[in-house]
Amino acid sequence: MFLKNYIGDIFSSIKSLLTGMKLTGYYFTHLKEIVTEEYPDNRGTLKMAERFRGEVIMPHNENNEHRCTGCQACELACPNASIKIVTKQETQPDGKKKKRIDTFVYRLDMCTFCNLCVNACPSEAIVMGQKFEHSVYDKKQLKKILNFPNSKLMEGVEE
Protein backbone atom coordinates (compact mmCIF):
# COMPACT_ATOMS: atom_id res chain seq x y z
CA MET A 1 0.00 0.00 0.00
CA PHE A 2 2.82 2.35 0.91
CA LEU A 3 4.67 1.50 -2.29
CA LYS A 4 1.54 2.07 -4.33
CA ASN A 5 1.08 5.55 -2.84
CA TYR A 6 4.77 6.29 -3.28
CA ILE A 7 4.83 5.42 -6.96
CA GLY A 8 1.45 7.05 -7.48
CA ASP A 9 2.86 10.26 -5.95
CA ILE A 10 5.81 10.21 -8.31
CA PHE A 11 3.69 9.78 -11.39
CA SER A 12 1.09 12.36 -10.41
CA SER A 13 3.79 14.92 -9.62
CA ILE A 14 5.57 14.25 -12.90
CA LYS A 15 2.26 14.69 -14.66
CA SER A 16 1.59 18.02 -12.97
CA LEU A 17 5.10 19.24 -13.75
CA LEU A 18 4.68 18.28 -17.39
CA THR A 19 1.37 20.14 -17.49
CA GLY A 20 3.20 23.30 -16.44
CA MET A 21 5.98 22.71 -18.92
CA LYS A 22 3.44 22.18 -21.66
CA LEU A 23 2.00 25.64 -21.07
CA THR A 24 5.35 27.44 -21.04
CA GLY A 25 6.44 25.34 -24.00
CA TYR A 26 3.32 26.44 -25.85
CA TYR A 27 4.12 30.09 -25.16
CA PHE A 28 7.74 29.57 -26.20
CA THR A 29 6.74 28.15 -29.55
CA HIS A 30 3.85 30.54 -30.20
CA LEU A 31 5.48 33.95 -30.32
CA LYS A 32 2.30 35.59 -31.58
CA GLU A 33 0.96 35.31 -28.03
CA ILE A 34 3.42 37.97 -26.84
CA VAL A 35 1.53 40.76 -25.11
CA THR A 36 4.33 43.32 -24.83
CA GLU A 37 3.44 46.79 -26.13
CA GLU A 38 6.54 48.44 -27.58
CA TYR A 39 5.14 51.77 -26.52
CA PRO A 40 7.05 54.64 -28.05
CA ASP A 41 7.49 52.66 -31.28
CA ASN A 42 3.86 51.69 -31.72
CA ARG A 43 2.42 55.10 -30.92
CA GLY A 44 0.71 55.27 -34.28
CA THR A 45 -1.12 51.99 -33.91
CA LEU A 46 -1.56 52.02 -30.15
CA LYS A 47 -5.03 50.87 -29.12
CA MET A 48 -6.13 51.70 -25.60
CA ALA A 49 -8.75 49.71 -23.75
CA GLU A 50 -12.29 50.99 -24.03
CA ARG A 51 -12.62 51.72 -20.33
CA PHE A 52 -9.19 53.32 -20.02
CA ARG A 53 -9.32 56.62 -18.09
CA GLY A 54 -6.80 59.08 -19.41
CA GLU A 55 -8.38 62.46 -18.65
CA VAL A 56 -11.75 64.13 -18.33
CA ILE A 57 -12.94 65.65 -21.58
CA MET A 58 -16.08 67.45 -22.63
CA PRO A 59 -17.23 66.40 -26.09
CA HIS A 60 -18.46 69.16 -28.36
CA ASN A 61 -20.46 68.67 -31.52
CA GLU A 62 -19.75 70.29 -34.88
CA ASN A 63 -21.71 73.47 -33.95
CA ASN A 64 -19.42 74.02 -30.96
CA GLU A 65 -22.13 72.89 -28.56
CA HIS A 66 -21.62 70.87 -25.39
CA ARG A 67 -24.08 69.17 -23.05
CA CYS A 68 -23.00 70.75 -19.76
CA THR A 69 -25.84 72.52 -17.95
CA GLY A 70 -23.64 73.80 -15.16
CA CYS A 71 -25.45 71.82 -12.46
CA GLN A 72 -22.15 71.31 -10.59
CA ALA A 73 -22.93 67.67 -9.71
CA CYS A 74 -19.45 66.73 -10.87
CA GLU A 75 -17.86 69.42 -8.75
CA LEU A 76 -19.66 68.05 -5.70
CA ALA A 77 -18.80 64.47 -6.59
CA CYS A 78 -15.11 65.12 -7.05
CA PRO A 79 -13.29 63.84 -3.95
CA ASN A 80 -10.25 66.11 -4.32
CA ALA A 81 -11.72 69.22 -5.88
CA SER A 82 -10.20 68.88 -9.30
CA ILE A 83 -13.25 70.42 -10.94
CA LYS A 84 -14.38 73.99 -10.57
CA ILE A 85 -17.34 75.33 -12.48
CA VAL A 86 -17.80 79.04 -12.94
CA THR A 87 -21.31 79.96 -14.05
CA LYS A 88 -22.83 83.08 -15.51
CA GLN A 89 -26.33 84.38 -16.25
CA GLU A 90 -27.03 84.40 -19.95
CA THR A 91 -29.95 86.12 -21.69
CA GLN A 92 -31.77 83.69 -23.97
CA PRO A 93 -33.33 84.72 -27.34
CA ASP A 94 -36.78 84.71 -25.67
CA GLY A 95 -35.59 87.23 -23.10
CA LYS A 96 -35.31 84.86 -20.13
CA LYS A 97 -32.12 84.73 -18.10
CA LYS A 98 -30.63 81.31 -17.52
CA LYS A 99 -27.61 79.87 -15.76
CA ARG A 100 -24.92 78.75 -18.16
CA ILE A 101 -21.32 77.69 -17.64
CA ASP A 102 -18.65 80.26 -18.13
CA THR A 103 -15.61 78.05 -17.60
CA PHE A 104 -15.31 74.39 -16.71
CA VAL A 105 -11.95 74.26 -14.93
CA TYR A 106 -10.40 70.81 -14.71
CA ARG A 107 -7.15 70.33 -12.82
CA LEU A 108 -5.44 67.31 -14.28
CA ASP A 109 -2.59 67.51 -11.76
CA MET A 110 -5.03 66.81 -8.91
CA CYS A 111 -7.21 64.27 -10.68
CA THR A 112 -7.05 60.64 -9.56
CA PHE A 113 -9.11 59.36 -12.52
CA CYS A 114 -11.70 57.86 -10.19
CA ASN A 115 -14.52 58.38 -12.70
CA LEU A 116 -16.94 59.74 -10.03
CA CYS A 117 -17.59 62.97 -11.93
CA VAL A 118 -18.56 61.07 -15.07
CA ASN A 119 -20.89 58.88 -13.01
CA ALA A 120 -22.43 61.91 -11.33
CA CYS A 121 -23.13 63.87 -14.50
CA PRO A 122 -26.86 63.75 -15.27
CA SER A 123 -26.52 64.94 -18.86
CA GLU A 124 -23.48 62.94 -20.01
CA ALA A 125 -21.58 66.12 -20.65
CA ILE A 126 -18.20 64.82 -19.57
CA VAL A 127 -16.51 61.53 -20.40
CA MET A 128 -13.14 59.93 -19.79
CA GLY A 129 -10.75 60.38 -22.70
CA GLN A 130 -8.10 57.97 -23.95
CA LYS A 131 -5.17 60.39 -24.13
CA PHE A 132 -2.51 59.64 -21.55
CA GLU A 133 0.60 61.52 -22.63
CA HIS A 134 0.09 64.48 -20.32
CA SER A 135 3.64 65.35 -19.35
CA VAL A 136 4.44 69.07 -19.57
CA TYR A 137 7.26 71.23 -18.27
CA ASP A 138 5.02 73.66 -16.43
CA LYS A 139 2.47 72.56 -13.87
CA LYS A 140 0.17 75.43 -14.84
CA GLN A 141 -0.51 73.78 -18.17
CA LEU A 142 -2.27 70.97 -16.37
CA LYS A 143 -5.07 73.31 -15.35
CA LYS A 144 -7.44 72.96 -18.26
CA ILE A 145 -10.61 74.65 -19.36
CA LEU A 146 -12.81 71.99 -20.86
CA ASN A 147 -15.47 74.04 -22.62
CA PHE A 148 -14.32 75.52 -25.89
CA PRO A 149 -14.35 79.32 -26.36
CA ASN A 150 -17.79 80.62 -27.35
CA SER A 151 -19.34 77.20 -27.00
CA LYS A 152 -23.04 76.85 -26.28
CA LEU A 153 -25.30 74.43 -24.50
CA MET A 154 -26.83 71.92 -26.85
CA GLU A 155 -30.55 72.32 -27.52
CA GLY A 156 -32.83 70.06 -25.55
CA VAL A 157 -30.36 68.98 -22.86
CA GLU A 158 -31.81 71.11 -20.12
CA GLU A 159 -35.42 69.91 -20.41
Partner 1 sequence: MNTPTPYSFASLATGIHAWLRQAISNDTLLQVTEMVITGVCLLVFLVLLCFFLGYMERKVAAFMEIRLGPNRVGPKGSLQIVADTLKLLFKEGLTPNGADKFLFNLAPGIMVVTSMMAVAPIAFAKNFQIWDINIGVLYVSAISSMAVIGILMAGWSSNNKYSLIGAMRSGAQIVSYELSIGLSLITIVILSGSLQLSEIVESQANGWWIFKGHIPVIIAFVIFIIASTAEINRAPFDLTEAEQELTGGFHTEYAGMKFAMFLLSEYINLFIVSAIAATIFLGGWMPFHIGSLPAFNHVMDYIPSFMWFFGKTFFIVFIIMWFRWTFPRLRIDQLLNLEWKYLLPISMVNILIVTAMAIFGWHF
- Chain-centre distance for alpha carbon 150: 26
Q: Which stretch binds partner 1 (CB under 8 A): 25-33, 49-57, 78-86, 135-143?
A: 25-33
| C-alpha–C-alpha distance, residues 148 and 103, integer Å | 9
Binding status of residue 38 toward partner 1 by CB under 8 A? yes
Strands, E assignment, the chain: 55-57, 65-66, 83-91, 97-107, 127-129, 143-145, 152-153
C-alpha distance across the termini of the chain, in Å: 81
Binding status of residue 45 toward partner 1 by CB under 8 A? no
Shortest Å, Cβ 136 to partner 1: 27
Determine contact, residues 157/69, Cβ cutoff 8 Å: yes
CA distances 113 to 27, 29, 137, 140, 154, Å, are: 35, 39, 21, 19, 26
Residue 33 or 94 with smaller CB distance to partner 1: 33
Which residue in 21, 48, 76, 86 binds partner 1 (CB under 8 A)? 21
Residue 32 or 96 with smaller CB distance to partner 1: 32
Binding status of residue 46 toward partner 1 by CB under 8 A? no
Shortest Å, Cβ 17 to partner 1: 7
Residue type at position 118: V
Which residue in 28, 52, 132, 148 binds partner 1 (CB under 8 A)? 28
The pairing of strands 127-129 and 55-57 is antiparallel
Residue 11 or 137 with smaller CB distance to partner 1: 11
Q: Which stretch binds partner 1 (CB under 8 A): 31-39, 85-93, 101-109, 148-156?
A: 31-39
Residue type at position 85: I
Binding residues for partner 1, per CB under 8 A?
A: 10, 17, 20-21, 23-25, 27-28, 31, 33-36, 38
